[in-house]
DNA sequence: TCTTGACTTAGAGTGCGCTCTAAGTTGTAG
DNA sequence: CTACAACTTAGAGCGCACTCTAAGTCAAGA
């Protein structure tokens, strides 16, 4: 167990989040993650809040939000409550995009499904 | 109207499919599209079958299939009916992947939805 | 004391999927 | 006859999101 509030090394955060240590440092460098606290030896020590934020970032990425937009969101977050409306708008736009993307995937899935059935039938004919 | 079976120029196909002429030539170069017929002046002339294949390629891409797999599929297609089983397997794998991806998006959508509601409430408090 | 290994930084390199450029040919309009 | 637009090729370049390298620091264990 750790000192007070359970601080994690970059290795541990990499394992916990599935991001590589390279990516964690990269995200911090570009400003996606605010400056992480350091131990006396300059090594990073991540708080649980940090890990929570990283998990949220992962979700944004997985929904297809480009890094520059995530950067904007992170910036707004750091600016405090007066940026709530803009962040809300970003999330709503993201929701629209994800819903549209899912609808598109659904359509494509139908075509794939159709082709699978067609191929199945053709195969049944060839090897009766 | 064109000669016999309505052949299209690369420009026309670009407009019809939404791919750029650059991308159309690129796809042909790497083997995603078989060699397109030429007019006397060496200019490409696309048949309706060609356009249909390109539309199918677009769907594969839109579902996230990487180019190297699409290449494999195109290769199998050209090899004829004895490759039906492998193509069927590829399509089934694609279906699994798309379904998994959609499920993941659905989960992320929930989190986004939750945050949107949370932010909405916070905003309502701040500006009553 | 020495080695090992986990960390640090700045910056270079990679893979993907295009996207663009340069230089040349061709066919039609004026 | 000339100008122009649309095409052709081979190959270079680009944006994104990482991913890796080199060189250095530091702390703990043999």
Distance A56 CA to C11 C1' (A): 28
Residues of B in contact with A123 (CB under 8 A): 84-85, 88
B34-57 residue pLDDT tens: 999 999 889 999 999 999 999 999
Nucleotides of C under 7 A from a protein CB: 6-10, 16-21, 26-27
pLDDT (tens, 9 = 90+) of chain A, 128 residues, equals: 433 468 999 999 999 999 999 999 999 999 999 999 999 999 999 999 999 999 999 999 999 999 999 999 999 999 999 999 999 999 999 999 999 999 999 999 999 999 999 999 999 987 66
Q: How far is CA B122 from the centre of its chain?
A: 41
The pLDDT value given to residue A1: 40
Whether the beta carbon of A23 falls within 7 A of nucleic chain C: the reply is no
Q: What pLDDT is stored for residue A125 in this prediction?
A: 86
Q: Which residues lie below 8 Å from residue A81, measured CB to CB, with a gap of 6+?
A: B122, B126
Task: State which CATH number among 1.20.58.110, 3.30.160.60, 1.20.1250.20, 1.10.1660.10 fits the domain covering B1-79.
Answer: 1.10.1660.10
Contacts of B116 in chain A (CB under 8 A): 88, 91-92, 95
Which residue pairs from A104-109 have beta carbons closer than 8 angstroms and sit at least 24 positions apart in sequence? Answer: A104/B62, A105/B62, A105/B63, A105/B98, A105/B101, A105/B102, A105/B105, A106/B102, A108/B59, A108/B62, A108/B63, A108/B98, A109/B63, A109/B95, A109/B98, A109/B99, A109/B102
Check: CB of residue A12 under 8 Å from CB of residue A39: no
Sequence spans of domains, chain B: 1-79, 88-128
Give me the mean pLDDT over the B83-92 stretch. 97
Q: CA of A57: which chain B residue's CA is closest?
A: B108
pLDDT grade for B1, boundaries at 50, 70 and 90: very low
What pLDDT, on the 0 to 100 scale, is given for residue A56? 98
Predicted pLDDT of residue A128: 67
Q: Residue A66: CB partners within 8 Å, gap ≥ 6?
A: none
Chain A residue with CA closest to B116: the answer is: A88
User: A45 phi and psi, to 5 degrees?
Assistant: -130, 115
């Amino acid at each position: 167990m750790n000192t007070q509030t359970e601080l994690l090394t970059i290795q541990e955060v990499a394992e916990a989040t599935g991001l590589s240590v390279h990516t964690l440092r990269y995200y911090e460098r570009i400003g996606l993650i605010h400056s992480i606290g350091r131990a006396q030896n300059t090594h990073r020590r991540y708080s649980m809040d940090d890990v929570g934020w990283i998990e949220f970032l992962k979700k944004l990425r997985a929904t297809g939000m480009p890094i520059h937009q995530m950067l904007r969101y992170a910036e707004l977050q750091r600016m405090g409550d007066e940026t709530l409306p803009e962040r809300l708008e970003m999330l709503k736009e993201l929701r629209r995009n994800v819903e549209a993307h899912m609808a598109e995937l659904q359509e494509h899935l139908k075509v794939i499904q159709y082709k699978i059935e067609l191929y199945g039938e053709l195969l049944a004919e060839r090897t009766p």
